[in-house]
Amino acid sequence: MDSTQRLVLFDGVCNFCNFWIQFALKRDKHSKLKFGSLQGETAQRVLPHYNIDPTVITSVIFIEDGIAYGESTAALKVCRHLDGGWKLLYALIIIPAFIRDGIYKWIGKNRYKWFGKQESCLLPTAEQRSRFVE
């Protein structure tokens, strides 16, 4: 992976995660972000480099400039790259991480119960395919 690439790794079978990725794709008109499933080959290869166990899927992972971020920090850093007013959400980074991450973990713990789960990972459309890694 190129060290300047911004990579969003997400739970590919989570309905909420897939909704959020579709949301980000529509608001990243300049293609600043690449996306991949935590269940995919790239995640399996890249995450151990950051001492992240790719078999434990509890958070979105955002890799930027060679640094991996998880939980609420990852989500806010992704928002910073979206078009329009969504980048203003990054201001929430001033809230202490233990508070942000507590809310993030609560949603993450209940995401399958509230939003459901798919049998397989998101399949990008033909026009989105270049934005995804294996």
The span from the CA of 81 to the CA of 92, in Å, is 14
Q: Indicate whether 124 pLDDT > 70.
A: no
* pLDDT tier at 119, thresholds 50, 70, 90: low
State phi, psi for 115 to the nearest 5 degrees. Answer: -115, -15
Give pTM, 2 decimals: 0.85
DSSP 37: E
Cα end-to-end distance, the chain, whole Å: 12
Q: Please count the residues of the chain.
A: 134
Hunting for tokens 């794709």 — which residue is that? 25
Alpha carbon distance 84, 86 (integer Å)? 6
CA distance 134 to 129: 10
Chain-centroid distance, C-alpha 87: 15
Predicted pLDDT at 71: 92
Residue found under tokens 């007013």:
85
User: Mean pLDDT throughout 76-93?
Assistant: 95
According to the model, what pLDDT value does residue 3 have?
45
Q: Collapse the DSSP code of 69 into the 3-class scheme (helix H, G, I; strand E, B; otherwise coil) and give the result.
A: strand
CA-CA distance, 126 to 32, in Å (whole number)?
18
